Amino acid sequence: MITKKNIIIDPHNTLRKRAEEVSTPISEDDKKILKQLLEYVIASQDDELCEKYDLKPGIGLAAPQINVAKRMIAVHIPDEENPENTVSYSLYNPKIMSHSTTKCYLESGEGCLSVDKEIKGYVPRYSKIKVVGFNENDEKITLNLKGLPAICFQHEIDHLNGILFYDHINKENPFDVPEDYEKL
Ligand SMILES: [Zn+2]
């Protein structure tokens, strides 16, 4: 099981590398990593499990964050009121196929399991994205995302390209974003 000890912290070379494509069909080892990534994010949202296994809560995790430079991510965003809207995926070779021209940002800013220091500022993201990736059974998954899930996938896919959320923050004016950006 992945715990806090397995998650590497910025600065670290692996967090700044472009991760390698995963070959199809997926190997047993890679399949195991996909499962562990999703298992971690789900468990990290449970207070009891968090304490028991020393997990840091998160909604997404990418393989480079556990020092595996391969294109794999997991995202778990439950929607308790509308369970059918829960977004819970573990994918390899995820790719943003298209995106809206409109942009958005989280008013609270973003955080990252691999960034220990608090970095304040707005992170501009596309409001809507279409993601294609493959699950542990090599099935092609197409997702049309908006809101928090769209932001989270962009954050995780950035990890596969060696990009961290604070790279997107305006250095001179961290809270300065164009007026037409949607606030979430
Ligand atoms: Zn992150």
pLDDT at 152: 98
Output the pLDDT for position 151: 98
Task: Please tell me the distance between residue 137's alpha carbon and the centre of ligand 1 in angstroms.
Answer: 25
Give me ligand 1 centre to Cα 91, in Å: 16
Percent of the chain residues past pLDDT 90, beyond the cut: 96
Residues whose CB is less than 8 angstroms from the CB of residue 139 and which lie 6 or more positions away in sequence, other chains included: none
Assign 182 to helix, strand or coil.
Answer: strand
Instruction: State the catalytic residues.
Output: 156
Round to whole Å and give the CA distance between 182 and 126: 10
Residue whose tokens read 């999703």: 38
My answer on whether omega of the bond before 25 falls inside 30° of 0, hence cis, is: yes
Chain segment 116-159, per-residue pLDDT in tens: 999 999 999 999 999 999 999 999 999 999 999 999 999 999 99
Which residues, 6+ apart, have CB-to-CB distance to 132 below 8 Å? Answer: 94, 95, 97, 140, 141, 142, 143
Instruction: Indicate the pTM of the whole model.
Output: 0.97
The tokens for 17 are 């590398």
Return the pLDDT at 64: 98
> CA dihedral defined by 104, 105, 111, 112, rounded to 10 degrees?
20
Task: Give per-residue pLDDT as tens, 86-110.
Answer: 999 999 999 999 999 999 999 999 9
3-state secondary structure at position 4: helix
Weakest-pLDDT range from 38-42, 60-64, 177-181: 177-181
- Dist. CA 156 → ligand 1 center (Å): 6
